[in-house]
Amino acid sequence: MLKLKNVSFAYLEKPILKNVNFSLEKGKNLSVIGESGCGKSTLLKLIYGLLHTDGKILWDNKELLGPQFNIVPGEAFIKYLAQDFDLMPPLTVAENIGKHLSNMYPRKKKQRVRELMEVVEMTELANEKAKHLSGGQQQRVALARALANEPELLLLDEPFSHIDHFRKNNLRRQLFSYLAEKNITCIVATHDSTDALSFADKTIVLKNAKIHAEGTPEELYQNPPNKYVASLFGEINEIMLKNLIPEEKSRKKILVYPHEISFSKKSDIKVEVKENFFRGQHYLIKARLKGQEIFIENPSALKLGTITGINVSSRLIDARK
C-alpha cells in the first residue's frame, strides 16, 4: 500500500502542495485531476523521489527517501512516465522498449518486447527509428518502456495527451486491463475526464495546494461538492434554485449537467434558445433562463429565439440541494 502523510512542497516560497494525505491499495488505479498548475506533476515527482518533502511517503510501511538521501533519484520498483519521453532517437521502437531489459536471455527479451508492443499497438513499427515517430507514437513507446521491467507502482503524467483520439480509447482499455491483470498500482495525473471516470478506482481533486475533494469517480461525478469539481468532468450549470422551483425563496444554487435538463413544451420554466453547438451524437444548446445562460443537451438543433420549457427531475433537485 502507498501512503502519503503531510506531504508538502514549494518552489521558493510558493506552496505547490500542502499537507497532502491519502493512501492507495496495491493494484488500484488513482486519478489525480485539477486545473493546470495545481500540483499534479509535482505530486508524481515527490512520490518517485525526484523532489524532497518534509512529509512521509511510504510503500508497504517502508519510507521512500527523496533526492537528499539517494544519489540516484527514484525507486527500482517504481516507473515514472513524464511528459517528455526521453527516448533514444537513433534506436528503433523495439530497441527503445527493450533498452533496460537484460541481454542474458535474448529470446525472453524479444518475447517481452513483442508483448509490450502489442499492448501499445506499435508492432507494425517495431523497426522504425524513434526520431521518425510522431509525438503520439513516441508517447506509446515510452509507455511500453516504462512497463518493460514490470513495476509495482506506475506513475503516469498525462499519458495520452499526444495520442490521436480514435486510438486513445482502445489504448486506454488495453493498458488499464493489463495493469489490473498484473496487479500494478497506478497513479495518473490527467486533465482528461475519461481517464478519471472510466478507469480509476479513486479520484483526487487538487486545488490551492491541497486535496480539494476525493472519492470514487461515481461519487464525485454524481454528487459534485462544488462547481469547480463538476467542471472538471465537462460543462456544468449552476442554476438558482428559485428559477427551477417558483415557490423557492432562498438564493441557493444547484449544479446540473446539460444532459440532466430536458426540453418540455408543457413546462412552465421557460428558456430562450440562443445558440446551437454540434457535438456529434447531440447538440449542446445555449439558452437563457431568467437572465442566466445555461447549456442543455438535445438530439437536434433548435431554432434561435425559440421560447420553450425545460424540465429537471425533482429527484435530482432533492439530491443536489
User: Which residue, 239, 244, 271, is CA-closest to 255?
Assistant: 239
SS3 303: coil
Check if the beta carbon of residue 297 is closer than 8 Å to that of residue 274. Answer: no
- pLDDT confidence band for 164 (50 / 70 / 90): confident
Question: Is it true that domain 2-226 has CATH number 3.30.830.10?
Answer: no
Strands 185-189 and 202-207: unpaired
Q: pLDDT tens digits for 3-55?
A: 999 999 998 888 999 999 999 999 999 999 999 989 999 999 999 999 999 89
Strands 307-311 and 270-278: antiparallel
Location of C-alpha cell 495527451? 161
Cα dihedral angle (205, 34, 202, 181), rounded to 10 degrees? -160
Segments in 38-134 forming alpha helices (H)? 40-48, 93-97, 106-119
Report residue 249 as a C-alpha cell: 425563496
Which range of 15-29, 54-68, 99-113 scores highest in mean pLDDT? It is: 15-29
By CB neighbour count within 10 A (0-12 exposed, 13-18 middle, 19+ buried), where does 154 fall? buried
Location of C-alpha cell 442566466? 292
CATH T-level fold of 235-320 = OB fold (Dihydrolipoamide Acetyltransferase, E2P) (2.40.50)
Q: What is the pLDDT of residue 152?
A: 96
CB-based contacts of 181: which residues, under 8 Å, 6+ apart? Answer: none
Q: pLDDT tens digits for 231-280?
A: 999 999 999 999 999 888 888 999 999 999 999 989 999 999 999 999 99
pTM surpassing 0.85?
yes
146/170 Cα distance (integer angstroms): 19
Report residue 107 as a C-alpha cell: 529470446
Q: What is the pLDDT of residue 216?
A: 96
First to last CA, the chain: 36
Q: pLDDT tens digits for 121-160?
A: 999 999 999 999 999 999 999 999 999 999 999 999 999 9
318/283 Cα distance (integer angstroms): 27
| DSSP label of 158 | S
In the chain, domain spans: 2-226, 235-320
Report residue 254 as a C-alpha cell: 444547484
Check if the beta carbon of residue 212 is closer than 8 Å to that of residue 22. Answer: no
Angle, vertex CA 46, rays to CA 43 and CA 49, nearest 5:
150
